[in-house]
């Protein structure tokens, strides 16, 4: 079977960027993790990620407001999803279509009718979701970080669900990192990395959508940088204060 990401991994700069990013994440998790991690650190990472993802989706809430349970509706949706997100990591590996449907069902539970929860908008959206599923189930030699980046971009640009597509895309990205062993305790905050680089994030998503292979390469190189920023946002490096 053809490796669906072999062409991208072979483009100039991609493999080296992801090797360097993974090395940096591994060093942070190993060295800082020796000081002892805890469920509370994972919870803090998820909270920071929920806030950042909500802001990228249009929320105006601050992290302090979200921490106090005073966020707006979008922030509430993202936090609700973060509470169950990691329980879906095994499903993301074994039955990714079900995991994606569940992510949407949870995040959109208070804003869409039941018949639209977890369901693609139309036939074209269903086909795009199958493409994401095929990628997640494919035998690929590409780094897990690159797989996560491609899943994120495809979901964020295909808009397969009736709402909350960006939040679902970023949650799926985090789950790929967990389920593939990059960050088993989910201490990296990739959503915060994207928020810190928001102009680049948005422009590179447009490039992914409209720019052909060159646009996909541009997104891939951007995402490696964003993951480094997400590692910097980890509670291992920046404790809650």
- pLDDT tens, per residue, the chain with 241 residues: 689 999 999 999 999 999 999 999 999 888 765 556 789 999 999 999 999 999 999 999 999 999 999 999 999 999 999 999 999 999 999 999 999 999 999 999 999 999 999 999 999 999 999 999 999 999 999 999 999 999 999 999 999 999 999 999 999 999 999 999 999 999 999 999 999 999 999 999 999 999 999 999 999 999 999 999 999 999 998 877 5
pLDDT on residue 32 = 60
pLDDT at 214: 96
DSSP 171-209: HHHHHHHHHTTSSTT----HHHHHHHTHHHHHHHHHHHH
What does the buried/exposed string (b/e) look like for 17-50 if buried means 16 or more CB atoms within 10 Å of the residue's CB?
Answer: bbeebbeebeebbeebeeeebeeebbbbbbbbbb
CA distance 62 to 76: 12
Using alpha carbons, select from 21, 3, 16 the residue that is nearest to residue 183. 21
Report how far Cα 105 is from the mean position of its chain's Cα atoms: 17
- Full-model pTM: 0.96
**What pLDDT, on the 0 to 100 scale, is given for residue 19?**
97
pLDDT for the residue numbered 241:
58
How wide is the angle at C-alpha 6 spanned by C-alphas 230 and 158, nearest 5°? 60
State residue 193's pLDDT score. 98
Residue 37: per-residue pLDDT: 76
Q: What is the pLDDT of residue 35?
A: 58
Nearest to 182 by CA among 64, 49, 18, 39: 18
Task: Using the Cα atoms of residue 57, residue 87, residue 9 and residue 139 in order, give the sign of their dihedral.
Answer: negative
């Amino acid at each position: 079977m053809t490796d669906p990401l072999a062409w991208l991994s072979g483009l100039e700069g991609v493999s080296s960027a992801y090797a360097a990013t993974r090395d940096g994440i591994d060093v942070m998790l190993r060295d800082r993790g020796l000081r002892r991690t805890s469920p509370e650190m994972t919870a803090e990472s998820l909270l920071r990620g929920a806030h950042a993802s909500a802001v990228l989706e249009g929320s105006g809430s601050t992290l302090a407001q979200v921490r106090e349970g005073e966020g707006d509706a979008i922030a509430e949706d993202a936090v609700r999803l973060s509470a169950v997100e990691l329980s879906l990591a095994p499903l993301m590996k074994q039955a990714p279509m079900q995991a994606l449907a569940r992510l949407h069902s949870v995040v959109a539970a208070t804003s869409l009718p039941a018949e639209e929860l977890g369901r693609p908008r139309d036939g074209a959206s269903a086909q795009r979701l199958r493409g994401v599923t095929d990628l997640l189930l494919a035998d690929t030699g590409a780094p897990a970080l690159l797989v996560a980046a491609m899943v994120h971009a495809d979901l964020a640009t295909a808009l397969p669900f009736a709402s909350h597509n960006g939040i679902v895309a970023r949650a799926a990205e985090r789950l790929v990192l967990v389920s593939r062993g990059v960050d088993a305790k989910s201490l990296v905050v990739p959503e915060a990395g994207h928020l810190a680089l928001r102009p680049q994030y948005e422009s590179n998503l447009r490039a992914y959508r409209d720019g052909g292979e060159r646009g996909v390469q541009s997104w891939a190189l951007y995402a490696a940088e964003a993951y480094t920023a997400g590692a910097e946002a980890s509670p291992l490096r920046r404790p809650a204060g």
